[in-house]
Structures are given as structure tokens and as C-alpha cells.
Amino acid sequence: MSRQKVIQVFEHQLLKIDENPVFTLNHFKALERYGYKNNEKYFSVGNKRIKFNSYVGVIQVGNLTIEILPKADKRKNDQATKDKWHNALIQMLHECKLIKLNTLSNARLKLKSASILDLFYDLFLSETETLWAHGLRKKYRPIEENLNKVKGKINFPKHIRKNAFNKSQFYIHHRIFDTDNTFNQILLKALLILKTITHNPKHSIRINKLLLNLDGVSEKTVTAHWFDKLHFDRNTERYRPAIGIAKLIILKYSPDLKGGNENVLAILFDMNVLFESYIYQKLKAIQKIPNIPITRIKAQNRTPFWESRGLRADIVLETIDRRIVMDTKWKILNSNTPSDADLKQMFVYNLHYDTNLSILLYPKTTIQSNDKKAFRKDEFSTHFCQVAFIDIFNESGQLEKELGIQIYERFLRKELVINEL
């Protein structure tokens, strides 16, 4: 079993064969095929180089793991900076409920010399082991087989064809109660994929043990349609965490059909969506704090705009008599002046959501936030937009735990208090 190699890069960064000896031509060709297969959604393909887009997460190609980290500053790309954003990404995924951790401190220790992908693998194996320890879900399923006794109903047309010269056999249709059902078939498929691509001996031992425990479960070709039809009830709700990770593993896996060992598995997240979800979670956490007049916080609020089309604001905050729209933008501005497209979008939000204030929230670099400014000096002079920047880190370089409070105190409190008065 070859040793797994790890490369850490930042979003929008180039990865070239000539500049990194770990990144070989075989790795590039596998990523090239994967990129073209996905219409270069996650990264663009150049001449022996890959340019990553706004997706962060991890890609495993053969014995190489590539971590794509977020970065909202222009500081140097040293290892300390990579460690900072590595830890930040893990915590953001955790707080947005995209990954489950018992304690972040333990996770950081576990991942000190590993990758984010190891965390996903370890979590999936732990969830599956827990399911097995408490008993795998069993269901009744129909089956047809030839037996030497009658059990259920005889399928007479097939019985006559198969047993015309064998009077001791009966072709019957009946139901059996076992673990061969959709939920366990999904787990089995994910385990078989991991068995193919893992380079961690400890993971391999756990995978083989689980495969033995799933003996009797049929191997199926699992597609996205399976997950669309999946229904969780009180008996299967415990499967949800494991199925969620299994879905990522199965649907994001691309086997090397050229006959080599450069299989690709990509677990990637749109950083714009992740930032929006993270800000929403931080604001949602302050909603029930006494003396904060916010009565409702809605995320991804879509309302009809024209025929079947709609407008969708990232976050809408409401009080008893006030509404403020907030749109998050994961991008680095060279000045505190946003693009025309962003400003026009906020102007439409003001009109459409019947509010006089919209906030454009960016991650902070060295640029200071503006006071709110009116859009025009006519009948719309009472409509404002504020360009705001927030530092998601504290002075110690860790993600700021009280980020929701800071956003409220800096950009919302004054507006809401004035409105109450």
C-alpha cells in the first residue's frame, strides 16, 4: 500500500506539474478527465496545470490528496497560514452541519499530519460502526427461489418449467426478513469504494471488518436517484449521518477507467455558499438573546419575481416592524467600492423585499466598512446600501466565536434601536 501524499493549496491557485514534484503527469491526466467530465465546475484545466475555482474541500487522486483551502486575505502562503485556514475550514463545515465532530480540539490533533479527507473517512466509518453495534436495519423483502419445501406461494408457471423432472423441488415466492435493503446497500457501496481508494492501514482494517458484518447485503449500482427516493422514519433516522457521507463518497467518486490506479474522489463545497451558511448560523445563534429585537432570521429567502422566476436574498432579518436584507460575498475587494452588479442587486432587493436598507457583507482584509449610503438623490434617497467587512478571526487567529454579536453590534444595532425609538 503506497503512502498517501498531501498537497495544500488555496482557492483560485494554480497547481503545476513542473513546480511540485508530488503532482505527477498521471495525477494531472486523471484530474483532466474528471474536470472535463464535470464541465470544469470545480477547477479549470490548462497545459499541465490545474486552476482551482471557488470550491474548497479535498480531492483524492490515486495516492495524492489535494486540500483546497479558503483564503480571504493577501498574506503569504506559508504553512502557518495554511494551518490557520485548514482549521477554519473544518470548523466552518462543522458549524454549518456539513460534518460532525465530537470536539474540534480532538479533530485538530487527529488531523495534524492528515487531511480533511481522513476526517470524512473516519467519520463515515465511525457512524457505520455505531449502526452495526446497535443492529443493522432489517426489512421484509420478496424473494423467489427453488426449495425442497413449500414456503409462501408456489409460482406455478416457473415451477413447471424448472421442476418438471424434479418432484422434490418447489419454485416459490415468499418474503424474508434480513439486512439486504436500500440503506445497507448504500453503506456497502461506500465501503467498497473506500476499500479501493484508501491508503490508511487503520482505515483498511476497519473497512474489512465492516464488510464482513455486511455479508449478505447485495452490491448494487447506487445512483443519485436512490437518495432522492430515500425516506427516513423513526426506525431509520439513525442512518442519516452515515448516509449523508456515503452520498458524498458515492456520487463524487470517479473510477479510473483507463486501467490505472488514479481513481478520483472529490468532496468540495462552494465557498460562497459556505460563507453565507456560516454567517447565517452565527446570526441565528443570537436571535434569542434578550434585548436583541430580531424576531426572525431567514436564509436563502426566495420570493416570486416574474412568472416562474424569483429573487433570492441570502439572509433576511426581521423585527416587529423592520426588515433588513443581507447578502454575503466571499471575495476580496481592492477598495470599499463593490461592483455595479452587486449594487444593482441590492437596489432590487430593497424594492422587492420592501426595506430601506441592504447590507453587502464581505470578509475583512485591510479595508474598512463604509457608513450606509443612499442609492439616488430623488424619490429613492431613503433607500440605502451599506458595504460592510467582518473579520471572521479573532486576535489569536481562531474563528471568532462571537461573530454574530459583532455583526449585530457593528451593522445592525444602530439601525434597529433607532427604528424602535
- Map out the domains of the chain with their CATH numbers: 5-135+182-271 (no CATH), 139-178 (no CATH), 285-420 (3.40.1350)
Question: What is the pTM for the complete model shown?
Answer: 0.84
Q: Which residue has 426566495 as its cell numbers?
A: 302
pLDDT at 257: 65
Can you read off the three cell numbers belonging to residue 83? 494551518
- What is the predicted pLDDT for the residue at 113? 47
Q: Is 149 exposed, middle or buried (0-12, 13-18, 19+ CB in 10 A)?
A: exposed
Rounded average pLDDT over 305-311: 72
Q: What is the pLDDT of residue 105?
A: 44
**What is the spatial distance between Cα 400 and Cα 392, in angstroms, rounded to a whole number?**
6
pLDDT of residue 418: 54
Longest dimension (CA), the chain: 96
Contacts 24+ apart (CB under 8 A), 25-33: 26/62, 26/260, 26/262, 27/61, 27/62, 27/64, 27/262, 29/262, 30/61, 30/62, 30/256, 30/260, 30/262, 30/263, 30/264, 31/59, 31/61, 31/264, 33/254, 33/258, 33/264
Q: How confident is the model at residue 48 (pLDDT cuts 50, 70, 90)?
A: very high
Instruction: Give per-residue pLDDT as tens, 383-403.
Output: 889 999 999 999 988 999 999
pLDDT at 220: 93
Q: Work out whether the CA dihedral 285, 286, 290, 292 comes out positive or negative.
A: negative
Of the listed ranges 55-59, 133-137, 356-360, 417-421, the least confidently predicted one is 417-421
Report residue 270's pLDDT band, with 50, 70 and 90 as the boundaries. very high
**C-alpha cell read off for 146:** 427453488
Count of residues making up the chain? 421
User: How many alpha carbons fall within 13 Å on the CB side of residue 334?
Assistant: 1
Q: Let me know: does 326 contact 358? Beta carbons within 8 Å.
A: yes
Q: What percent of the chain has pLDDT over 90?
A: 52
How far is 24 from 17, CA to CA, in rounded Å?
Answer: 6
Question: Which residue has better confidence, 138 or 270?
Answer: 270
Residue 313 to residue 26: CA distance in whole angstroms? 43
Torsion of CA 265, 271, 275, 280, to 10 degrees: -60
Quickly state the pLDDT bin for 230 (edges 50, 70, 90): very high
**Helical (H) or strand (E) element with 413:** helix 413-420
| Whole-angstrom distance, CA of residue 390 vs CA of residue 388 | 7
Rounded Cα–Cα distance for residues 118 and 140 (Å): 35
